[in-house]
């Protein structure tokens, strides 16, 4: 509209100026009206639905952009804006969509949930996040969980069928742009009004409109026709096309222009999958090409319909697929699917067991390659698929064991698929070892106190069956070294499991083979056929562990002593050292159950004195101070951890160690109470005892350590009942001792040892009080048989621990000497300490004094120790100067004395 006229349009002015000049009539003065250029812009009227949906789509776009740069704080604010915008749009959704949630909203919530879960599970990434992003992530996760509860059913339906549903985000954008084109179509109607001002009353509007290529809002989109004939209108269209092509760099034909117009129209349509586009357009013209994402490759085409499928064709296709293995743009998931399809084709055409086994082995390798990170476990979907493929492959190999040879010694050039015996390149043993490692990773990833761990542990039956099948195949095809490797994998799943039939066989209640017999067979084969030290060492340690688990103390002890592993274990790899620590811990528990207290203490002392048994047994990590353990070290140590079902109870281990130390330390402390040079049997137990003695107020014991300390104090006074009550406590320690097999026998054994050691402690402590003491009184006091009391006292007398003698007629113990009083013992102890202090001071003083007898030694080592020789020479020079000065001073003083004496003599003569 012209800004110089208050009324009318441009078309009116043009028509009037073309006919005659208008006569200017005087008009009243009106206020000047200034029109801006904004009036030329056409206003778009949109519905409430379009406004709300466009607002939602803009917020979703922002969220996607922030996800790409991992700006969690901005994602949180955008998510809050999305919730508010959706609440505003709910009335429109209820009214116009019948309460159906838009598809693009469900898609965005699903993508956001997946992004939050992936980011939260990435622990290393969360550690490296900034403080703001970390807080925002936790806040976003909590808010999203609360908000998404109302959309759970819709999200599940969307994930099942993502292509079925309402409008997508692109459709919303196109509908938001539709009013502009509708306004343009409506603008064609005023053409008739403009024609009214022309001389010709009849004006026909062109039936065909030019293609909208760049500017849909331009006035050129309207075709003004002056002719009555259709031919003239078509010729005008041709002129318009010619004018357009005149300004192009390359001249194009009209057909090309029409094709481009078709493509432009296709862009405005909603997105359709590539398959649907091909179905819709017969010629294939104007269809969008789907470009694969970065890292993905196109799926190789299967055989043509008319192709003749034989062994060579399938082999070529298999080598084509496996050639892409490990490349950067290889789609690993699609590779597995293609191998499955190839397997079905091979089975359909009966190409033989060789190619079938080769395809299955390739599938196993492809499934292993799916997980890029070696430290992380594979997904459960592919784990189950791996078990199925391995089981199928082993059945086929065992069914054709005499015809099919699958070995790593076969090269690709010597492979044979057509004539028997078939020769294939591959290693089943390596595959089952990798499978076993993946099983351990899956167990370590699960929460040990959840049902998921139990479900994963059920797969151990399948894994052990596969190991047995591989063992049968390797015994037929493999070498003794490979058989040793399979035996060790079988031992790893057997050595820590308790078999109650072993103890029943000892009692004569069981006749069949037990796990101990199986371990004997497997380990002895490795002892005689293994060429590497690692397999033999692990086999010996597993054998010792299994013997100790079933209370075969003497067999386990003899294996430890004969192998001399304790001397060379520090040179082994970390996993073997962990196995050694586990073996010694279990050996100590076995010695304790058998009543060998000293041996149990010796087995556990190195493990418990470090205060890190949890780390040494690979059962968890102790929190360290800052910078004591790097992220890489922590990651490596986590990979070394063993699954939860193989753990040794640390509380039981510590309880056994402290009780063993108490039974050894308390009698020794009572016997050497006043000995200044007394050694400590157990430093850890001694520290626990001293820390409780320093406490001003000691309450009733609560923890296991406090119970052992309280029992030790009771034993020092000879009160065995209180000591036994603290150790074998029904309230506190029942759960600990119940972890033992035949726990009642262990409790009775403990009470017996407590009685005996309490008797010894009582005699050491109160022997200076008695001149003689009755054996019957001691037997009644400690509830022991007389013969046992005689035996204990006799051993003490023989070992010169107790200065006494036994009087058989009277059944008494006669003390031969009286112990010094406490004051006398303390004074003797003080005298010993003073003597030691004087000796130490004298040694320090002698070290500081010059030594005159080292000169020859320095001369002998002059070439090797020139610096030391020079220092010695300087020291000797200094000493000689010092002596010369002393002589001079002595001479001076002697002269002075002579002068004084002479002066005195002269005075006397006068």
The model's pLDDT over 229-281, given as tens digits with 9 standing for 90+, comes to 444 444 444 444 455 555 554 444 444 444 444 444 444 444 444 444 344 44
The DSSP line for 768-830 is TT-SEEEHHHHHHHHT--HHHHHHHHHHHHHTTSS-EEEETTTTEEEE-SPPPPHHHHHHHHH
Task: Give the DSSP letter of residue 288.
Answer: P
Per the CB < 8 A criterion, the answer to whether 105 and 54 are in contact is: no
pLDDT tens digits, 740-754: 888 889 999 999 999
Mean pLDDT (the chain) is: 76
Tell me the sheet residues that pair with 416: 423
What percent of the chain has a predicted confidence (pLDDT) above 70? 71
**Which range in 49-58, 96-105, 403-412, 463-472 is most confidently predicted, on average pLDDT?**
463-472
Taking the C-alpha atoms of residue 321 and residue 334, their distance in angstroms, rounded to an integer, is 10
Helices (H), 619-742: 631-639, 650-671, 683-694, 704-716, 720-727, 734-737
Taking the C-alpha atoms of residue 117 and residue 678, their distance in angstroms, rounded to an integer, is 61
Per the CB < 8 A criterion, the answer to whether 850 and 873 are in contact is: no
- Residue 275 confidence (pLDDT): 42
Q: For 61, what's the count of Cα atoms within 13 Å in the CB-facing half-sphere? A: 11
Q: What distance lies between CA 860 and its chain's CA centroid?
A: 62
- Residue 477 confidence (pLDDT): 81
Name the CA dihedral angle for 235, 240, 244, 247, rounded to a multiple of 10 degrees. Answer: 90
Residue 423: φ, ψ to 5°: -125, 125
289 pLDDT more than 70: no
655 pLDDT more than 50: yes
Taking the C-alpha atoms of residue 117 and residue 119, their distance in angstroms, rounded to an integer, is 6
Taking the C-alpha atoms of residue 212 and residue 268, their distance in angstroms, rounded to an integer, is 12
Per the CB < 8 A criterion, the answer to whether 657 and 651 are in contact is: no
Per the CB < 8 A criterion, the answer to whether 526 and 484 are in contact is: yes
pLDDT tens digits, 315-373: 888 888 888 887 877 888 888 888 988 888 888 888 888 899 999 999 999 999 888 78
- Nearest CA to 11 out of 3, 1, 19, 21 is that of 1
96-110, 239-253, 404-418, 892-906: the lowest-pLDDT one: 239-253
- Residue 836 confidence (pLDDT): 87
Confidence label for 905 from pLDDT (cuts 50, 70 and 90): low
- Nearest CA to 396 out of 428, 425, 419 is that of 428
User: Kind of pairing, strands 404-407 and 804-807?
Assistant: unpaired
For the four alpha carbons of 622, 625, 626 and 629, in that order, the dihedral sign comes to: negative
Per the CB < 8 A criterion, the answer to whether 106 and 154 are in contact is: yes
- Residue 34 confidence (pLDDT): 43
Name the CA dihedral angle for 721, 724, 729, 732, rounded to a multiple of 10 degrees. Answer: 120
Question: Omega into 421 within 30° of 0, i.e. cis?
Answer: yes
Residue 617 token pair: 């047994």
What percent of the chain has a predicted confidence (pLDDT) above 90? 28
- Nearest CA to 167 out of 302, 59, 50 is that of 50
User: Kind of pairing, strands 422-425 and 772-774?
Assistant: unpaired
pLDDT tens digits, 533-554: 899 999 999 999 999 999 999 9
Taking the C-alpha atoms of residue 106 and residue 167, their distance in angstroms, rounded to an integer, is 11
- Residue 187 confidence (pLDDT): 42
Per the CB < 8 A criterion, the answer to whether 226 and 199 are in contact is: no
| Cβ count within 10 A of residue 645 | 13
Residue with tokens 């089981």: 391
Round the CA-based radius of gyration of the chain to a whole number and report it: 48
Taking the C-alpha atoms of residue 558 and residue 543, their distance in angstroms, rounded to an integer, is 11
User: Kind of pairing, strands 404-407 and 422-425?
Assistant: parallel
Q: Any idea how long the chain is?
A: 910
4 pLDDT more than 60: no
The DSSP line for 142-173 is HHHHHHGGGGHHHHHHHHH-TTSSS--HHHHH
Residue with tokens 């991992």: 70
154-163, 351-360, 488-497, 773-782: the lowest-pLDDT one: 154-163
Which residues touch 95 (CB under 8 Å, ≥6 apart)? Answer: none
- Residue 885 confidence (pLDDT): 52
- Residue 807 confidence (pLDDT): 87
Residue 613: φ, ψ to 5°: -65, -25
Task: Give the DSSP letter of residue 571.
Answer: G
For the four alpha carbons of 523, 528, 529 and 531, in that order, the dihedral sign comes to: positive
Q: Is the pTM of this model over 0.85?
A: no
Per the CB < 8 A criterion, the answer to whether 494 and 519 are in contact is: yes
pLDDT tens digits, 548-579: 999 999 999 999 999 999 888 989 999 999 99
Taking the C-alpha atoms of residue 538 and residue 585, their distance in angstroms, rounded to an integer, is 16
User: Kind of pairing, strands 804-807 and 812-815?
Assistant: antiparallel
Residue 390: φ, ψ to 5°: -65, -40
CA angle, residues 111, 116, 118, in degrees to nearest 5? 95
The region that residue 450 occupies, defined by phi over 0 for left and psi between -120 and 50 for alpha, beta otherwise, is beta
Tell me the sheet residues that pair with 425: 407
757 pLDDT more than 70: yes
- Residue 823 confidence (pLDDT): 82
**Mean pLDDT, residues 381-390 taken together:** 93
**Mean pLDDT, residues 602-631 taken together:** 83
Tell me the sheet residues that pair with 405: 423
The gap between the terminal CA atoms of the chain, to the nearest Å, is 156
- Residue 902 confidence (pLDDT): 67
């Amino acid at each position: 509209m012209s800004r110089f006229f208050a009324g009318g349009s441009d078309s009116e002015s043009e028509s009037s100026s073309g006919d005659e000049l208008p006569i200017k009539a005087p008009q009243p003065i009106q206020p000047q009206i200034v029109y801006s250029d904004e009036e030329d812009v056409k206003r778009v009227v949109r519905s409430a639905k379009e406004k709300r949906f466009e607002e939602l789509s803009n917020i979703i776009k922002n969220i996607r952009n922030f996800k790409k740069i991992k700006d969690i704080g901005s994602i949180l604010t955008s998510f809050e804006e999305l919730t508010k915008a959706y609440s505003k749009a709910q009335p429109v959704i209820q009214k116009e969509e019948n309460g159906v949630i838009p598809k693009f909203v469900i898609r965005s919530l699903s993508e956001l949930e997946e992004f939050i879960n992936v980011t939260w599970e990435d622990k290393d990434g969360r550690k490296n996040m900034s403080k703001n992003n970390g807080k925002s992530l936790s806040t976003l996760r909590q808010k999203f969980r609360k908000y998404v509860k109302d959309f759970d059913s819709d999200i599940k339906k969307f994930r099942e069928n993502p292509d079925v549903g309402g409008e997508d985000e692109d459709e919303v954008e196109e509908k938001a742009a539709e009013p502009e084109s509708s306004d343009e179509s409506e603008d064609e109607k005023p053409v008739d009004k403009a024609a009214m001002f022309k001389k010709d009353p009849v004006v026909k509007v062109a039936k065909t409109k030019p293609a909208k290529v760049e500017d849909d809002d331009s006035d050129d989109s309207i075709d003004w026709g002056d002719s009555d004939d259709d031919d003239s209108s078509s010729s005008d269209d041709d002129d318009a096309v010619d004018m357009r092509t005149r300004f192009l760099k390359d001249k194009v034909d009209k057909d090309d222009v029409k094709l481009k117009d078709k493509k432009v129209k296709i862009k405005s349509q909603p997105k359709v999958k590539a398959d649907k586009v091909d179905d819709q357009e017969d010629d294939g013209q104007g269809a969008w090409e789907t470009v694969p994402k970065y890292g993905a490759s196109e799926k190789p085409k299967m055989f043509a319909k008319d192709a003749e499928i034989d062994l060579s064709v399938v082999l070529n296709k298999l080598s084509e697929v496996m050639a892409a293995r490990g490349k950067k743009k290889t789609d690993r998931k699609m590779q597995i699917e293609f191998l499955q399809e190839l397997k079905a084709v091979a089975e359909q055409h009966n190409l033989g067991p060789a190619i079938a086994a080769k395809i299955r082995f390739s599938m196993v390798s492809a499934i292993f390659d799916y997980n890029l990170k070696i430290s992380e476990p594979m997904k459960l979907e592919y784990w189950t698929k791996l078990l199925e493929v391995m089981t199928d492959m082993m059945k086929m190999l065992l069914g054709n064991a005499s015809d099919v040879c699958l070995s790593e010694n076969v090269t690709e050039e010597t492979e044979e698929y057509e004539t028997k015996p078939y020769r294939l390149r591959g290693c089943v043993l390596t595959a089952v070892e990798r499978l076993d490692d993946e099983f351990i990773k899956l167990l370590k990833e699960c929460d040990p106190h959840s049902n998921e761990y139990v479900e994963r542990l059920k797969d151990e039956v399948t894994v052990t069956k596969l190991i047995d099948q591989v063992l049968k195949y390797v015994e037929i095809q493999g070498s003794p070294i490979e058989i040793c490797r399979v035996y060790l994998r079988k031992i790893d799943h057997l050595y820590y499991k308790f078999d109650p039939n072993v103890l029943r066989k000892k009692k004569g209640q069981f006749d069949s083979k037990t796990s101990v017999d199986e371990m004997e067979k497997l380990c002895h084969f490795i002892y005689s056929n293994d060429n590497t030290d690692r397999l033999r060492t692990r086999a010996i340690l597993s054998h010792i562990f299994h013997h100790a688990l079933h209370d075969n103390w003497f067999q386990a002890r003899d294996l430890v002593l004969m192998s001399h592993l304790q001397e060379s274990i520090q040179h082994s790899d970390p996993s073997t050292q962990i196995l050694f620590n586990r073996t010694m811990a279990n050996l100590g528990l076995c010695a304790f159950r058998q009543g060998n207290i000293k041996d149990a203490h010796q087995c556990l002392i190195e493990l418990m004195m470090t205060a890190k048994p949890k780390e040494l047994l690979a059962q968890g990590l102790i929190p360290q101070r800052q910078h004591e353990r790097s992220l890489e070290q922590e990651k490596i140590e986590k990979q070394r951890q063993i699954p939860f079902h193989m753990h040794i109870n640390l509380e039981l281990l510590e309880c056994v160690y402290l009780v063993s130390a108490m039974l050894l330390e308390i009698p020794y402390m009572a016997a050497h109470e006043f000995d200044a040079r007394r050694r400590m049997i157990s430093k850890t137990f001694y520290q626990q005892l001293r820390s409780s003695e320093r406490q001003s107020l000691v309450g009733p014991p609560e923890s296991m350590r406090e119970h052992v300390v309280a029992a030790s104090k009771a034993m020092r006074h000879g009160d065995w009942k209180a000591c036994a009550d603290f150790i074998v406590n029904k309230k506190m320690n029942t759960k600990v001792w119940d972890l033992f097999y035949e726990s009642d026998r262990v409790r009775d054994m403990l009470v017996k040892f407590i009685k005996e050691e309490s008797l010894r402690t009582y005699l050491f402590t109160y022997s200076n009080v008695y001149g003689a003491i009755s054996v019957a009184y001691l037997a009644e006091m400690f509830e022991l048989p007389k013969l046992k009391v005689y035996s204990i006292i006799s051993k003490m007398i023989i070992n010169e621990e107790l200065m006494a003698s036994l009087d058989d007629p009277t059944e008494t113990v006669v003390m031969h000497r009286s112990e010094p009083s406490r004051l006398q013992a303390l004074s003797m102890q003080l005298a010993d300490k003073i003597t030691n202090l004087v000796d130490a001071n004298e040694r320090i003083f002698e070290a500081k004094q010059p030594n005159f007898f080292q000169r020859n030694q320095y001369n002998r080592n002059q070439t090797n120790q020139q610096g030391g020789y020079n220092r010695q020479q300087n020291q000797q020079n200094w000493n000689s100067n010092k002596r010369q000065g002393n002589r001079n001073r002595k001479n001076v003083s002697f002269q002075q004395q002579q002068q004084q004496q002479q002066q005195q003599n002269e005075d006397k003569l006068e």
